[in-house]
Amino acid sequence: QVQLVESGGVLVKPGGSLRLSCEASGFTFSDYYMSWIRQAPGKGLEWVSTITSNSGYTDYADSVKGRFTISRDNAKNSLYLQMNSLRAEDTAVYYCAREMATVTRPFNSWGQGTLVTVSS
């Protein structure tokens, strides 16, 4: 079955950097667009970034544009999120999610998330 496992979340100081990873299994990873979605403690869901199946196109929420970079390695079935210039407001559980292969792009599989805490 589809499995997405995130890792890399830790406590980091403001201004610091971090790279999150998401390892996929149970499906042909290279066929699917993937996204990162985050959830601050006690808050709602916020889309962060998306990448197409061949890495030809990426997109970012305004709140992270210029600081975060999404990438993938289809040979390793892995998705990444490089996070720079971290701020307290980036504190959240970060989920990787697979988009359904339709024009309306719902997220039909999610990992369990990894917690990023930005604090001095």
Partner 1 sequence: SYVLTQPPSVSVAPGQTARITCGGHNIGSKSVHWYQQKPGQAPVLVVYDDTDRPSGIPERLSGSKSGNTATLTISRVEAGDEADYYCQLWDSSGDEVFVFGTGTKVTVL
Closest to partner 1 by CB, 44 or 66: 44
Closest distance between partner 1 and the C-beta of residue 45, in Å?
Answer: 4
| CB nearer to partner 1: pick between 66 and 106 | 106
Q: How far apart are CA 113 and CA 105, in angstroms?
A: 20
Residue 42 touching partner 1 (CB under 8 A): no
SS3 90: helix
Q: Does 115 bind partner 1 (CB under 8 A)?
A: no
Q: What does the DSSP assignment read for 15-72? A: T--EEEEEEEESS-GGGS-EEEEEE-TTS-EEEEEEE-TTSS-EEE-TTTTTTEEEEE
102 touching partner 1, by CB under 8 A: yes
Nearest-approach distance from CB 111 to partner 1, in angstroms = 7
Residue 3 within binding range of partner 1, rule CB under 8 A:
no
As separate numbers, helices (DSSP H) first and strands (DSSP E) second, the chain gives 0, 11
Q: Does 27 bind partner 1 (CB under 8 A)?
A: no
Smallest CA-to-CA distance from 6 within 26, 30, 23 is with 23
Which is nearer to partner 1, 62 or 120 (by Cβ)? 62
Q: What residues make contact with partner 1 under the rule CB under 8 A?
A: 35, 37, 44-47, 50, 59, 61-62, 95, 100, 102, 104-108, 110-113
